[in-house]
Amino acid sequence: MALERMASSSKNIKMFGDYTATKVVGAGSFTEVWEAKHTLHGNKVAIKDVNLQKLNKHLRECLDCEVNFLRSVNHPNIIRLLETMEVGDHLFLVLEYCAGGDLAAYIQRNGRVQEQVARNFMRQLGAGLQVLHTHHVIHRDLKPENLLLSTHDNDAMLKIADFGLCRYLSPEEQAKIVCGSPLYMAPEVLQFQKYDSKVDMWSVGAILFELLNGHPPFTGRSNCQLLQNIKSCTILPFPEVILADLHPDCIDICTKLLCQNPVKRLSSEEFLKHKFLSTT
């Protein structure tokens, strides 16, 4: 498909091939995400505009992994890649549109959620994550901002998105590049140690804790202080008022996800088999 990329400074409109984009809904150091519609059919999509010139070797490898993985899967809990277009030094990823925004905005609107709502989101996150790990892909940046929702409702479909830091990792391999978002980053990454897919499971634990409490489990004014707070913790910092309302299975799964020793931390397969997720 020939790609025409035009911009109107007055109306902030861009044309991406057959799509008309009218609003930037996200931006990073080398990407912009636009809300767009198919000019003929009117179907709403999200278009991720990647400036290839700004990518170093590591980020280009992550982008290649992202595109190859998304092209190879079709799962309800993983954002769907509809097509790609490349022109000059820009690559455009046309993705399914999620009207519910991201999980971070959901938590900001609703505060801490009931256990059943958290369980529903965790089941979906676990299902999508198992697909990644079966394909030997680690996400490395799981956080509420990168989990999209189909609607604003409590029963919304959750979709793992933003694979900009993902990489292929064979079972016998370990990664060593430090990347991700510190509040959801496993301690082995913060300590510059080699790591595997268990880093994603720590992030899942941090997200579950945030759903139940309204805030992440560990904070700090710097990465060093954050790591110190993690290492000094022997019992997860659930407030007593919240702890009293949680089922023991919920506390157990959260504890086994936020385990500082990655060998003892739950895998994605063990996570999905845990009693907390099998409870109705």
Q: Which of 18, 49, 102, 141 is catalytic?
A: 141
Compute mean pLDDT per 10 residues along the chain, 280 residues long, and list them: 36 84 88 93 94 95 97 97 94 96 94 94 97 97 97 91 95 93 97 97 98 95 96 91 92 97 96 90
The residue written with tokens 């949680």 in the block is 246
Cα–Cα dist 199/140, whole Å: 7
> Which phi and psi (to 5°) does residue 91 adopt?
-115, 130
The pTM for the full model equals 0.93
The pLDDT score that the predictor gives to residue 9 is 32
All domains in the chain, ordered by first residue: 7-96 (3.30.200.20), 103-278 (1.10.510.10)
pLDDT tens sequence across 54-109:
999 999 999 999 999 999 999 999 999 999 999 899 999 999 999 999 999 999 99
| pLDDT in the model for residue 61 | 96
Note the pLDDT of residue 280. 67
- For the chain, the average pLDDT equals 92
Active site residue 141: yes
Distance CA 225, CA 215 (A): 17
